Structure 1
């Protein structure tokens, strides 16, 4: 609404500015026209002065008479030019009486009319000049106001753009959050897990390329695949709402139990995975697996179910699995080996022969 009002004010200001500029040109033309008339009056007054000089010449010689006649002819010509300008005036102005244009017109009448015309057109010239200066001042002030308004509009547009950009960034983050995270538990999903695994593997390869061959190799990467034993019984006997509550509760415990740099993801259903970005000994992975199993048992005990445990499969790169893209599948196979062997435990993937 503010932007619309500002734009309307800008359009009105531009229209007013155009009208003022047009009026300035009109007043300037009037001022120039008054200047032309004043020049014509001055030339006529000069011709009238020449006539007076010849009339005051001593004697009645033929030369004096000839000078008076030529001076009167010049005065008549100047008066004709002046009359043409005055009669063509774009604004109402005193007209020259026809009697003043006669060759033998009284000089005192011509003097009176020239004095009247000079006073009128000088006043008109001054009025037009004052109007031009005043309108130019108005235009300058209006330009300053329009510049300020444009600046405000620009700031408003930048503000709206920044606000919209923040909204788009927020929506993008929301979409990314929805695309890469499980909506119920808030954990990263399978897609996010594989993307993080790829980043960790690229970082491992980069460190391996930079290291001295004689130095210690970079830390290894591992994936722990977790499947909940007996979870189906919760949904069948207690309902999916209780099953969802169990998954949410165990997810919270998983996040607390792992290290800060590790990633817990929900693969789907009652299956989870933990990406260990770096470790040095297999015992570390065993400890993590035991904590994950403990999280499931603690959740089961707290909710009073008494039938849920966890089977964990562990695969590491590059010692057990030489291709990081097979880490999740190898950990999944190790997890199924645990299930076939009695559940509620963990096992490492078997290296390929």
Structure 2
């Protein structure tokens, strides 16, 4: 009886000792805990950096989408104006001229929209060249504008929702790991700096695509107006009267190049003449493609009106040389010149005044230039 009692506790003691050994084997000391905390911190910082980088990238996409939607609104406004003129009774010269001008304006707006949409780095549906003709079917134009507007509004909603979700994730992560992140602040900043440099590269691509014409590489309408405002606000320190000028250029006969010789040759013509425009002006002057076959040159400083006339002659020569070298025999140039502050007192009207003057040149025989005068 006593012998059996002495043997009973042995298995229980052995099990207890084995459990203690197992627990001591998996017990975490300070070093493993610190390593685990550091690993969690690094993972969290990386996650935050990636999320913030994506948020910045999405914000740039939102700006680009806003630019596209702005171009859509302008094209829709031009399309509505065509409809207004179309509904007027036929037979009057005013109606005919107004309708033709509205169709030309619509074609320019569609060309601007196509340049922005087709330059999208995100692989968005392209605007077909057939939609850019001034004689395109109004129904097809309405369908095109509707599909482009719907697609980019959907993209804006998707990007906005993605930004909200990512911001929420970032906020929750910061709350959960605030104390740990504060202790490792310099490490987090070092890792974030690397990703900021990567984001800067992407930001530059988006910015360039948003502010430059994809085909010619020239500044677009948005960039041109920003540079015009900067030139008007920063007069030369050594000049008594700061004057700036805008030369608005329209390629006469260019539509016939696209219609008879094809859009490919038309694109090559625009690229070639854009290169000659840049080479013919001074380094400080700005050449921009406003849309379609319309260009603008910003002259930041000049001495006399005759100097502007010489520049206009060189630009007309650029078009003639390009036309001769490419063998089209169709294209010339009409140029309107507007000067601030005399006679155009508001620099914000420079482009419009130069545009109006250019149309006067076209009505008076084309292939020349004229200066804008003060409005009565």
**Bucket of the pairwise TM-score, normalised by the shorter protein:** 0.5 to 0.7
Q: Give the match for residue 324 of structure 1.
A: 347
Q: Give the match for residue 201 of structure 2.
A: 170
Q: Give the match for residue 241 of structure 2.
A: 218
Q: TM-score, normalised by structure 2?
A: 0.50
Q: Give the match for residue 32 of structure 2.
A: 12
Q: TM-score, normalised by structure 1?
A: 0.53
Structure 1 unaligned segments of length 5 or more: list them.
1-9, 17-152
Contact 1:219-1:279 at 8 Å conserved across structures = no
- Tell me which of 204, 215, 227 is aligned to 1:196: 227
Q: Give the match for residue 161 of structure 1.
A: 192
Q: Deviations over 1:154-207 (max 9, x none)?
A: 887555422211121122221111111111111111111111111111113x96
Q: Give the match for residue 182 of structure 1.
A: 213
Q: Deviations over 1:138-160 (max 9, x none)?
A: xxxxxxxxxxxxxxx98875554
Q: Deviations over 1:197-249 (max 9, x none)?
A: 11111113x96xxx9xxxx6323100000000110011101111111111011
Distance in 2 (alpha carbons) for counterparts of 1:197 and 1:181? 15
Q: Give the match for residue 56 of structure 1.
A: none
Q: Over aligned residue pairs, what C-alpha RMSD do you find?
A: 2.7
Q: Give the match for residue 84 of structure 1.
A: none
Distance in 1 (alpha carbons) for counterparts of 2:35 and 2:364? 88
Q: Give the match for residue 275 of structure 1.
A: 298
Distance in 2 (alpha carbons) for counterparts of 1:248 and 1:12? 64
1:232 matched to 2:255? The reply is yes
Distance in 2 (alpha carbons) for counterparts of 1:272 and 1:308? 14
Q: Give the match for residue 177 of structure 2.
A: none
Q: Give the match for residue 281 of structure 2.
A: 258
Q: How does 1:105-184 map to 2 (within 5 A)?
A: 160-184=191-215
Larger Rg, first or second structure (1 or 2): 1
Distance in 2 (alpha carbons) for counterparts of 1:250 and 1:326? 26
Relative to structure 1, the CA distance from residue 174 to residue 302 in structure 2 (aligned partners, 3 Å threshold; closer, same or farther) is: same
Alignment coverage as a number of residue pairs:
203
How much does 1:339 deviate?
A: 0.4
Corresponding residue SS for 1:279 = coil
Contact 1:229-1:311 at 8 Å conserved across structures = yes
How much does 1:346 deviate?
A: 0.5
Contact 1:296-1:310 at 8 Å conserved across structures = yes
Q: Give the match for residue 299 of structure 1.
A: 322
Distance in 1 (alpha carbons) for counterparts of 2:241 and 2:213? 32
Q: Deviations over 1:245-266 (max 9, x none)?
A: 1101111111111111111010
Corresponding residue SS for 2:284 = coil
Corresponding residue SS for 1:331 = helix
Q: Give the match for residue 128 of structure 1.
A: none
Q: Give the match for residue 246 of structure 1.
A: 269
Contact 1:219-1:280 at 8 Å conserved across structures = no
Q: Give the match for residue 45 of structure 2.
A: none
Contact 1:227-1:271 at 8 Å conserved across structures = yes
Distance in 1 (alpha carbons) for counterparts of 2:328 and 2:316? 15
Contact 1:227-1:270 at 8 Å conserved across structures = yes
Relative to structure 1, the CA distance from residue 318 to residue 15 in structure 2 (aligned partners, 3 Å threshold; closer, same or farther) is: closer
Relative to structure 1, the CA distance from residue 302 to residue 13 in structure 2 (aligned partners, 3 Å threshold; closer, same or farther) is: same
Corresponding residue SS for 1:227 = strand
Distance in 1 (alpha carbons) for counterparts of 2:35 and 2:246? 72
How much does 1:13 deviate?
A: 6.8
Distance in 1 (alpha carbons) for counterparts of 2:31 and 2:220? 54
Distance in 2 (alpha carbons) for counterparts of 1:342 and 1:160? 64
Corresponding residue SS for 2:308 = helix
